[in-house]
């Protein structure tokens, strides 16, 4: 019995997402998260960002704040967004600090 062939991506981002499927280094995870978010796979993007945020990644905290603020894959939550921006800013993320100003 042969496994089903992978689905053909409909967009360049979809192709990138497929190409990055096996990449587990931090840069690859970041690219996968961005691609997932842009394609509307917000749950997948959040899972990746949360994994990186647990490891102390300031950009991941900022991206989670953006998702919370904009309501991507979850209801908008300004309080949660602010808390994530604060954590990202404390970790040295300049854009997060600017969002708090």
User: Does any domain span residue 1?
Assistant: no
pLDDT, tens digit (0-9, with 9 covering 90-100), for 8-55: 556 666 666 666 566 677 788 888 898 889 889 999 999 999 999 999
What pLDDT, on the 0 to 100 scale, is given for residue 15? Answer: 66
Residue 93 lies in a domain: yes
With pLDDT > 70 as the criterion, what percentage of the chain qualifies?
76
- Contacts of residue 70, Cβ cutoff 8 Å, sequence gap at least 6: 76
* Residue burial 55-76, b: 16+ Cβ < 10 Å; e: rest: eebbbbbbbbbbbbbeebbeee
Number of structural domains (the chain) is: 1
Residues 51-70, mean pLDDT to the nearest whole number: 96
Full domain range(s) for residue 36 = 12-100
Residue 7 belongs to some domain of the structure = no
CB 88 within 8 A of CB 68: no
Give the tokens for residue 82. 């602010």
* pTM: predicted TM-score of the whole model, two decimal places: 0.77
Which domain CATH number covers 41? Answer: 1.25.40.10
CB 27: neighbour CB atoms within 10 A? 9
């Amino acid at each position: 019995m042969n496994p089903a062939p992978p689905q053909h991506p409909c967009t360049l981002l979809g192709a990138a997402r497929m190409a990055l499927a096996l990449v587990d280094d931090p840069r690859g995870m970041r690219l996968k998260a961005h691609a997932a978010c842009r394609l509307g796979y917000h749950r997948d993007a959040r899972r990746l960002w949360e994994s990186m945020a647990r490891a102390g990644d300031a950009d991941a905290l900022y991206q989670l704040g953006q998702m919370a603020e904009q309501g991507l894959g979850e209801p908008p939550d300004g309080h949660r967004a602010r808390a994530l921006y604060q954590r990202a800013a404390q970790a040295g993320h300049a854009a997060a600090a600017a969002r708090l100003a």
